[in-house]
Amino acid sequence: MHAGQVQIQPMSVQDIPFIEGLEIACFPEPWPGDIYRHELAHNRLSSYWVVRPVQEHAEDAPPILAYGGYWAMGSEVHIVTVATHPDYRRQGLGRVLMAWMIERARAGGATEVTLEVRAGNVAAQALYAQMGFVVVGRRKGYYHNNGEDAVLMTLFLPTVATDPSFN
């Protein structure tokens, strides 16, 4: 599955049962569906996205190939989660989704995109580095299940200088 065979859409409550299965497959501390339900219904800062196969490829593929979300907080957009279905990794879908979220952050006027990632999560760190994120810090023992450190990464977005005399 490559970028031309997928589409990105807002996550809806109907997606949550499938997302719950992906959470278990993708994360050591999966979010229960209720967190997603709460986020979609009540968190006005959040945006969640799903990557689906386009019509022609929908029959032999799962309904959601990847998903992710962020909180937009003025100049900072914080990536809350990103994951690709285990059977569809290394096909560029994580990159496509990250690029989508970064572009939306940029369009919304953010100057930095932030995230945290497990110190041992080499795949995700490689993806983020490829997108231009740099390591800016570390939180010792951040993750509850095994006391793993969190690595803090930020993508600094260039601000476009506006000329007030230009109309």
Ligand X SMILES: CC(C)(COP(=O)(O)OP(=O)(O)OC[C@H]1O[C@@H](n2cnc3c(N)ncnc32)[C@H](O)[C@@H]1OP(=O)(O)O)[C@@H](O)C(=O)NCCC(=O)NCCS
List residues bridging with 73 in a β-sheet.
76
Q: Which of 77, 102, 127, 153 binds ligand X (CB under 6 A)?
A: 127
Instruction: Measure the CA–CA gap between 137 and 153, rounded to whole angstroms.
Output: 7
Which of these segments, 6-14, 90-98, 102-110, 152-160, binds ligand X (CB under 6 A)?
Answer: 90-98
By CB under 6 A, name the one of 64, 80, 83, 101 that touches ligand X. Answer: 83
- Is 105 a binding residue for ligand X by CB under 6 A? The answer is no
Q: Is 19 in the site for ligand X (CB under 6 A)?
A: no
Query: Burial of 104 by CB count in 10 Å (0-12 exposed, 13-18 middle, 19+ buried)?
Result: middle
Least Å from the CB of residue 166 to ligand X: 38
128 carries an active-site annotation: yes
Residues 128-167 binding ligand X (CB under 6 A) are: 130
Is 84 a residue that touches ligand X (CB under 6 A)? yes
- Supply the DSSP symbol for 80: E
Whole-number Å distance between alpha carbons of 159 and 2: 31
Q: Are 108 and 72 in contact (CB under 8 A)?
A: yes
Query: Is 20 annotated in the active site?
Result: no
Q: Tokens 């009540």 correspond to what residue?
A: 42
Q: At what angle do helices 93-107 and 122-130 cross, to 10 degrees?
A: 50
Of 55, 66, 71, the residue nearest 113 (C-alpha): 71
Is 90 a binding residue for ligand X by CB under 6 A? The answer is: yes
Q: How far is the CB of 76 from ligand X (least distance, A)?
A: 17
Q: Which of residues 106-125 bind ligand X (CB under 6 A)?
A: 117, 121-124
- Positions annotated as catalytic residues are 116, 128
Q: Which residues bind ligand X (CB under 6 A)?
A: 26-27, 66, 82-84, 89-95, 117, 121-124, 126-127, 130
